Amino acid sequence: MGDHPIEGLMKTTMESIKGMIDVNTIVGSPVQTPDGQVIIPISKVSFGFASGGGNYVVDKEGEEEIPFAGGSGAGVSVQPVAFMVVGNSKMKLLPVDQGNNMLNSILDFIPKISNEMKKNDKSKKIMTMIYVKVIMKTKE
């Protein structure tokens, strides 16, 4: 007895998924910066697939003994999770979510400081210094 048609659908789906993923999907291709550092993106990859089918009865004689109808589908999600920065005898792992949350908090806080500082002319210099320090800190 030969393979059932659903096996062919599942095999094709799995081979297609296998062809889509390799090590470069999770650990991306390195990018070299002008100052000699290397940045390597790291991603979370999720796959899902489904195959289904069924046999049906044939009313006319002479048609296939076991008629089959089926289908399959797949979905892929690639989400960046971190960047590995290598250079200057150091290695840093910069998580995407943590950095965004910290940066968003800082950006939300700056207007509050700014509004308070605008009330005083001397505060403008202090505000500028704080702003520069915050920006420099986020670049570390």
CA distance linking residue 104 with residue 110, whole number of Å: 10
Using CA atoms, how far apart are residues 5 and 70, in angstroms rounded to an integer?
A: 8
What φ, ψ does residue 34 adopt, rounded to 5°? Answer: -60, -25
pLDDT at position 123 over 50: yes
Residue-wise pLDDT for 81-113, tens only, equals: 888 888 888 888 888 875 556 656 666 666 666
pLDDT at 114 over 50: yes
pLDDT value, residue 1:
46
Q: In this predicted structure, what is the pLDDT of residue 20?
A: 72
Average pLDDT, the chain: 73
